[in-house]
Amino acid sequence: MDVYNESEEQLYSKFGEKNNLPNATAVLVLGILSIVVSGLGFILGIIAIVLHQKDKEIFLADKKRFKVSYDASKAGFICAIVGISLSILSVLLFLFLMIEAVEFI
């Protein structure tokens, strides 16, 4: 690999510098946290989805340039959906258990 004969743009695209979507890392972190933190999982997941939609618009403008960071954003989006689903299931389970407890008393 001869880095001296390549343009600055080619070097950036090879090494991933300056080609990151603005919210890719935030989406990934919020998506993972939405799974881990059950109490705030729904809110964190919604924020991650909104940020992912903004990144998606930027990605669609230049797909080659933002491919790697879009994959991270997409992974965070999937984690956010899983986190939201788990939050909804935990709320439903809590409500079910509370109803059963009231009927038991």
pLDDT at 38 over 70: yes
And the tokens for 31? 């998506």
What mean pLDDT value characterizes the chain? 87
Q: How confident is the model at residue 103 (pLDDT cuts 50, 70, 90)?
A: confident
Question: Which H, E and C letters describe the chain, residue by residue?
Answer: CCHHHCCHHHHHHHHCCCCCCCCHHHHHHHHHHHHHCCCCHHHHHHHHHHHHHHHHHHHHHCCCCCHHHHHHHHHHHHHHHHHHHHHHHHHHHHHHHHHHHHHHC
